[in-house]
């Protein structure tokens, strides 16, 4: 356990990671003319007396990280747009000199559509990719597979998370439920991944695991289980990662995503919450999950730049495992961040995705571990994404997790319920990664960077349980933790870098060609699903239209027509177009 002095030092170190990174939100120019500021060698902020517009917009660009190239970019921007902009590295701590890195550019687009302006930035020599860093809807909370009736079956009145319905579904078919006691079937997911709880060592802070999610929330199941000395909120840029229950986009029925997914890793065995029976795989090992709040709520990620900050902080904090139960469309940003984490030897376990069939980002990228979801019958969860990029499957349907349950009076109480989603499958694999790293810590001391990730991926696949009823596109099989811990770590010479044949220029070209189309289609799909479930009128389309280039890409690569723009909420039609475009970059 950390001493108080060590905790204070850790908090100071985390603050250093983020203190030199400017805010990503829209920036209003000041009326006066300030002096040139230089916050660090890679960050220059200049403002002029005559701003182009009343607001600046955030863009993400990909460019080579050299002083010479940075100066060229700065000069070209001044020449074309004046000196009123901010340009800085998105991941300054982990950026490598001479490598292609992500930069954040805050600048006015004048009267131009920001998406069109991003296309214009590509004309500047040295910029490999540019995108407007707009808000993106998330693939986190899921819904009843019966016509999207409810978020993640959150509402007890709808019955799908009711234990009576759970027993009716599985008491005759599932070996994890049939004839079992209440405490046994509520913990069916442990049996499904074949973990006996045999690793009782106190691992504590020797292996840090970071959660990228909506932050933590107070629920008895997780009391004293989160590491609240090393947490951070990258949305509000402060050191309190608590989820905002007052956010107008969410209701308490959807509140607590980080608490639910986190409980599978570190949840208490017993609590004051109504209904015990399941607990965290790493609870007995003294692990405390470090929550990084990277999303406003279960619906939106404000900026990808905030995700980049979190990646940088996790690297600086020497995290060994990252668990991410959310999904976005693949972008150049998620591609770059996945590769960065991979090269640092951090095992990044990611949810494959919910209700969109195709694997989402970051899971779809080569450097991550993509996790699909199964049910208590060892069959597929119908809502799980699937495909050749899935590595493994774990329990994700009817997993017993903490919830905030609404009563008829309108009040909420602490309870437990059965939830669905690859969000819940992922923490099983993240927990297994920590146990695997601890068990093999001596041999792995000779492994570096990507070799650690590939050694885990190989061991994970080789030890997977193949006796199941899953389709072929659910990875190597179902996670088997005991077999994983018994398996031999593969030799270094047998491991291959997943990016060994990468052509970054070709990758960037793919994203710069269709990246905007992907994001706009994705947001249309997610808005359609959310509105169907919640009837939230606040889920409106972004105020900036798709650029002419993006429309042309849709026309050339899909069955898109002008009326399609009016039918973006048609899930099936939009998904078909999305997956056709997605093939251009994956």
CATH of the domain at 362: 3.40.50.200
What is the β-pairing status of strands 321-324 and 209-213? parallel
Cα–chain center distance at 475: 20
Q: What's the confidence (pLDDT) of residue 194? A: 98
Average pLDDT over residues 327-343: 96
Q: What's the confidence (pLDDT) of residue 540? A: 45
Task: Provide the percentage of residues in the chain whose pLDDT is more than 90.
Answer: 62
In a domain, 188, yes or no: yes
Q: What's the confidence (pLDDT) of residue 23? A: 40
CATH number where 95 lies: 3.30.70
Grade residue 445 by pLDDT with cuts at 50, 70 and 90.
very high
142 within 8 A of 421, measured Cβ to Cβ = yes
pLDDT tens digits for range 511-539: 988 888 889 888 888 877 666 555 454 44
276 and 174 share a domain?
yes
221 and 352 share a domain?
yes
32 and 67 share a domain?
yes
pLDDT tens digits for range 114-152: 999 999 999 999 999 999 999 998 988 654 434 333 334
Give dist(CA 94, CA 81) in Å, integer: 29
Cα–chain center distance at 136: 12
444 and 533 share a domain?
no
**Greater model confidence, 84 or 560:** 84
175 and 69 share a domain?
no
Q: Does the pLDDT value for residue 571 go beyond 90?
A: no
DSSP for residue 93: T
In a domain, 249, yes or no: yes
489 and 509 share a domain?
no
Q: Classify 146 as helix, strand or coil.
A: coil
430 and 554 share a domain?
no
Nearest of 296, 283, 293 to residue 314 by alpha carbon: 293
What is the β-pairing status of strands 347-351 and 321-324? parallel
In a domain, 269, yes or no: yes
90 and 215 share a domain?
no
Grade residue 345 by pLDDT with cuts at 50, 70 and 90.
very high
99 and 239 share a domain?
no
Q: Does the pLDDT value for residue 219 go beyond 50?
A: yes
Q: Which residues contact 179 (CB under 8 A, 6 or more apart)?
A: none
Domain interval for residue 46 = 25-132
Q: Which residues of 399-431 are buried (b: 16+ CB within 10 A; e: fewer)?
A: bbbbbbbbeeeeeeebbbbbbbbbbbbbbbbbb
- Per the DSSP assignment, residues forming a β-bridge with 350 are 324, 370
Name the phi and psi angles at 149, rounded to 5: -75, -30
pLDDT tens digits for range 460-507: 999 999 999 999 999 999 999 999 999 999 999 999 999 999 999 999
Name the phi and psi angles at 513, rounded to 5: -80, -45
In a domain, 151, yes or no: no
Q: Which of 116, 132, 148 corresponds to the end of one domain?
A: 132
Give CA separation, 44 vs 20, 81, 121, 126, 317, in Å: 11, 15, 18, 18, 26
Average pLDDT over residues 401-413: 77
Q: What's the confidence (pLDDT) of residue 51? A: 40
Q: What's the confidence (pLDDT) of residue 544? A: 64
In a domain, 160, yes or no: yes
Number of structural domains the chain divides into: 3
523 and 465 share a domain?
no
Give the chain's mean pLDDT.
84
Average pLDDT over residues 414-434: 95
In a domain, 246, yes or no: yes
In a domain, 11, yes or no: no
Rg (CA), the chain: 23
In a domain, 555, yes or no: yes
Q: Which of 445, 461, 494 corresponds to the end of one domain?
A: 494
325 within 8 A of 257, measured Cβ to Cβ = yes
Grade residue 565 by pLDDT with cuts at 50, 70 and 90.
low
490 and 513 share a domain?
no
423 and 302 share a domain?
yes
434 within 8 A of 203, measured Cβ to Cβ = yes
Average pLDDT over residues 430-454: 98
Q: Which of 436, 469, 494 corresponds to the end of one domain?
A: 494
């Amino acid at each position: 356990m950390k001493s108080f002095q060590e905790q204070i030092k850790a908090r100071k170190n985390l603050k250093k990671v983020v203190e030199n990174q400017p805010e990503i939100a829209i920036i209003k120019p000041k009326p006066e003319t300030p002096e040139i500021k230089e916050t660090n060698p890679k960050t220059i902020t200049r403002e002029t007396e005559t701003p182009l517009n009343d607001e600046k917009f955030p863009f993400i660009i990909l460019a080579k990280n050299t002083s010479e190239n940075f100066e060229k970019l700065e000069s070209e921007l001044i020449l074309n747009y004046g000196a009123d902009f901010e340009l800085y590295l998105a991941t300054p701590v982990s950026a490598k000199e001479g490598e292609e890195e992500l930069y954040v550019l805050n600048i006015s687009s004048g009267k131009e559509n920001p998406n069109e302006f991003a296309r214009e930035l590509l004309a500047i020599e040295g910029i490999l990719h540019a995108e407007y860093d707009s808000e993106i809807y998330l693939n986190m909370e899921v819904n009843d597979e019966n016509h999207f009736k409810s978020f993640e079956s959150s509402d007890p009145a709808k019955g799908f998370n009711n234990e009576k319905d759970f027993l009716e579904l599985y008491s005759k078919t599932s070996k994890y439920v049939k004839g079992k006691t209440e405490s046994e079937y509520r913990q069916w997911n442990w049996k499904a991944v074949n973990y006996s709880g045999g690793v009782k060592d106190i691992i504590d802070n020797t292996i840090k695991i970071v959660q990228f999610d909506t932050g933590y929330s107070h629920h008895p199941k997780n009391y004293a289980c989160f590491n609240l000395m090393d947490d951070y909120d990258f949305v509000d840029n402060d050191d309190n990662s608590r989820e905002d229950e007052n956010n107008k986009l969410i209701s308490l029925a959807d509140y607590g995503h980080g608490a639910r997914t986190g409980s599978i890793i570190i949840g208490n065995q017993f609590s004051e919450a109504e209904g015990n029976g399941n607990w965290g795989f790493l609870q007995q090992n003294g692990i405390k999950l470090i929550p990084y709040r990277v999303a406003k709520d279960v619906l939106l990620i404000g900026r990808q730049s905030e995700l980049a900050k979190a990646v940088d902080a996790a690297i600086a904090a020497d995290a060994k495992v990252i668990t991410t139960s959310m999904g976005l469309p693949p972008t150049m940003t998620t591609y770059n961040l996945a590769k960065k984490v991979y090269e640092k030897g951090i095992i990044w376990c990611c949810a494959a995705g919910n209700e969109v069939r195709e694997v989402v980002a970051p899971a779809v990228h080569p450097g991550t571990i993509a996790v699909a979801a199964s049910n208590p019958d060892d069959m597929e969860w119908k809502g799980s994404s699937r495909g050749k990029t899935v590595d493994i499957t774990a329990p994700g349907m009817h997993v017993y997790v903490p919830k905030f349950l609404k009563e008829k009076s309108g009040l909420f109480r602490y309870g437990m319920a059965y939830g669905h989603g690859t969000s819940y499958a992922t923490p099983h694999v993240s927990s297994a990664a920590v146990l695997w790293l601890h068990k093999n810590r001596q041999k792995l001391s000779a492994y570096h960077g990507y070799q650690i990730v590939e050694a885990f991926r190989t061991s994970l696949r080789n030890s997977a349980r193949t006796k199941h009823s899953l389709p072929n596109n659910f990875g190597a099989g179902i996670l088997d933790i005991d077999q994983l811990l018994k398996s031999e770590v593969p030799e270094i010479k047998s491991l291959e870098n997943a990016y060994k044949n990468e052509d970054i220029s070709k990758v960037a070209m793919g994203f710069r060609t269709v990246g905007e189309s992907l994001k706009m289609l994705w947001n249309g799909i997610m808005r359609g699903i959310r509105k169907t479930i919640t009837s939230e009128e606040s889920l409106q389309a972004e105020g900036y239209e798709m650029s002419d280039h993006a429309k042309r890409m849709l026309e050339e690569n899909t069955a898109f027509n002008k009326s399609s723009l009016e039918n973006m909420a048609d899930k099936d039609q939009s998904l078909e177009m999305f997956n056709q475009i997605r093939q251009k970059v994956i």
